[in-house]
Amino acid sequence: MAEAPSVGSRVKLRLKTLSGDTVVEGVILPPAVEHHVTVKLPNGYNLSHPLNQTHVIESTAREASTSSQSPQPTHNPDLPSVRIIHTGGTIASKVDYVTGAVTAQFEPSELVHHVPELQQIANIDAHKIGNMFSEDIRPIHWNQIIDATEKAFEQGCDGVVVTHGTDTLHISSSAVAFAWCGEGNKAPGRIAFVGSQRSSDRASSDAAQNLIAAVTWAAQGPIPNGNLSDCVVVAMHRTSDDGACSIHAATGVRKLHSSRRDAFRPVNTQPLATVTIDESTIEIHLSEHYENNRTQHSEREISTTASRFNTDLSIRQFMSGPWLLSAEINEAVESKADALVLHGTGLGHVPIENPNEDAPQNLELRSSLQNAINNNIPVLIVNQCIHGPVDMNVYSKGRIQQEMGILGHGITTSPEAAIVKLHYALSTNKNVNEILTSNLFGEEVNQIRD
């Protein structure tokens, strides 16, 4: 064929290959390679093939977009109100097959149009912060999310859903949790973070069910008591199959796979609840440990304002292991870093001993860390293993680290939540050691079990 169908056309093509002819169907994308045709297949993957070995069997021209003509959702006074705060990611996006760009699909009318189940759950409105890849999100954006949640509750919303890219979703959700609950109070309503592992144009997308679960929790979930980190949660697929989403405590979850739909897994805890979704019903099932906590602990007082994060802090991170040298620590001290974080091995260790007298770098590292601590720079150790506690009481090395003043013993949150906790303490001018050793709102599971 001389020319490819126009971008956005739905086509059936016969492709000549080394193993014979094959027929494919899909939507034409901008070509990935010159003199090729690129097709998005129904399974979500893209296929490129030489134009001169492609024959068009069928082609239907792309229809003009009608999203702007979608009717506005009708307000139902019998339903709770949920505001969706959009920061980016694929959860509330769609692909424009003319440009190939992913764009925000974020007017309430469009959300209801593409996920009609939402209008049976809550009255939806929206606030757009931006369309950012989650790796580009920084503390300034945490504060923008906090601002938007405050405004939503001020304006009478029962719950809030934050759509967010998945790579740093657990970090941002932890930040919002500490902002609302770090002072011992709780948010005025439920806050659920949600993302998707597969883009909404793929047949295997998890976007719709994740969003349904998040809105269901924000609208109809139990009133948070402020414990077990239940004011701010993460709603994502429970398994790789459809039908159930886990509701995770924001500080007890982490993305542990780059592409699976059930990439978000609990860290040293278990989900607070499960939202099951089938063709006819959506149900919330609370976990036994969460049910027990709700009967054993009273609700905290509601706060109408949340804390904010200092966006100018410099927190330097280092990976413990054979390559960590004193020069890196010295440079951080000289640059006036506000805190250092060590991703420790095992139970939380760094190479600071030289038993064979052949690794002087270890003693130099110890000296550099001690110098940082002596200069009132907090040094926090988190768990490189992800699961399990930081326990510096087991080995003599851990006891040496504690004597040096290295912080972090007893931490059981995700490593990122621990770093956010450090950032929170520094931002609010609190005693860092006291905050790191405190169980502020049930984020440390070792104290929950008492």
pLDDT given for residue 65 in this prediction: 47
Q: How many helices (H) and strands (E) does the chain have?
A: 11, 20
pLDDT given for residue 450 in this prediction: 30
Q: What distance in Å separates the CA atoms of residue 350 and residue 343, rounded to the nearest whole number?
A: 8
> What residues are labeled active site?
90, 166-167, 255
**The two structure tokens encoding residue 296:** 């054993």
Q: What distance in Å separates the CA atoms of residue 44 and residue 226, rounded to the nearest whole number?
A: 40
3-state SS assignment for residue 208: helix
pLDDT given for residue 27 in this prediction: 82
Q: What distance in Å separates the CA atoms of residue 348 and residue 169, rounded to the nearest whole number?
A: 25
> Which helix (DSSP H) or strand (DSSP E) does residue 421 occupy?
helix 415-427
Domain 10-60 CATH (choose: 3.60.20.30, 2.30.30.520, 3.40.50.300, 1.10.3720.10): 2.30.30.520
Task: Please name the amino acid found at residue 354.
Answer: N
For residues 277 and 261, the answer to whether their CB atoms sit within 8 Å is no
pLDDT given for residue 47 in this prediction: 84
315-411 has the same fold as 10-60? no
pLDDT given for residue 386 in this prediction: 94
pTM of the model: 0.85
**The two structure tokens encoding residue 120:** 């049976």
**CA-angle at 410, arms to 405 and 411, nearest 5°:** 100
pLDDT given for residue 202 in this prediction: 60
Region of residue 48 (left: phi > 0; alpha: psi -120 to 50; beta: else): beta
The sheet with strand 54-60 has its strands ordered as 46-50, 36-40, 20-29, 10-17, 54-60
pLDDT given for residue 92 in this prediction: 63
Output the DSSP codes for 139-187.
HHHHHHHHHHHHHHHHTT-SEEEEE--STTHHHHHHHHHHHHHTTS-B-
pLDDT given for residue 102 in this prediction: 58
> Which helix (DSSP H) or strand (DSSP E) does residue 419 occupy?
helix 415-427
pLDDT given for residue 448 in this prediction: 33
> Which helix (DSSP H) or strand (DSSP E) does residue 108 occupy?
helix 108-114
* Domains in the chain: boundaries: 10-60, 69-296, 315-411
Q: Kindly give the confidence (pLDDT) of every residue in the chain, 450 residues in length, as a single tens digit, with 9 standing for 90 and above.
A: 557 788 878 899 999 998 899 999 988 887 878 889 888 777 656 788 998 999 888 888 765 444 445 566 788 999 999 999 999 877 766 666 555 555 666 666 676 777 888 989 999 999 989 888 899 999 999 999 999 999 999 999 999 999 999 999 999 999 999 999 999 999 999 999 999 887 665 656 788 899 999 999 999 999 999 999 999 999 999 998 889 999 999 999 999 999 898 999 999 999 999 999 987 799 999 999 999 999 988 889 999 999 999 999 999 999 999 999 999 999 999 999 999 999 999 999 999 999 999 999 999 999 999 999 999 999 999 999 999 999 999 999 999 999 999 999 999 999 999 999 999 999 999 999 999 999 999 999 864 333
For residues 205 and 89, the answer to whether their CB atoms sit within 8 Å is no
For residues 200 and 207, the answer to whether their CB atoms sit within 8 Å is yes
Please give the CATH superfamily to which domain 69-296 belongs: L-asparaginase, N-terminal domain (3.40.50.1170)
CATH number of 315-411: 3.40.50.40
Q: What distance in Å separates the CA atoms of residue 450 and residue 66, rounded to the nearest whole number?
A: 57
Of 17, 61, 16, 52, give the one whose Cα is nearest residue 33: 52
Q: What distance in Å separates the CA atoms of residue 34 and residue 188, rounded to the nearest whole number?
A: 55
pLDDT given for residue 41 in this prediction: 78
For residues 222 and 294, the answer to whether their CB atoms sit within 8 Å is yes
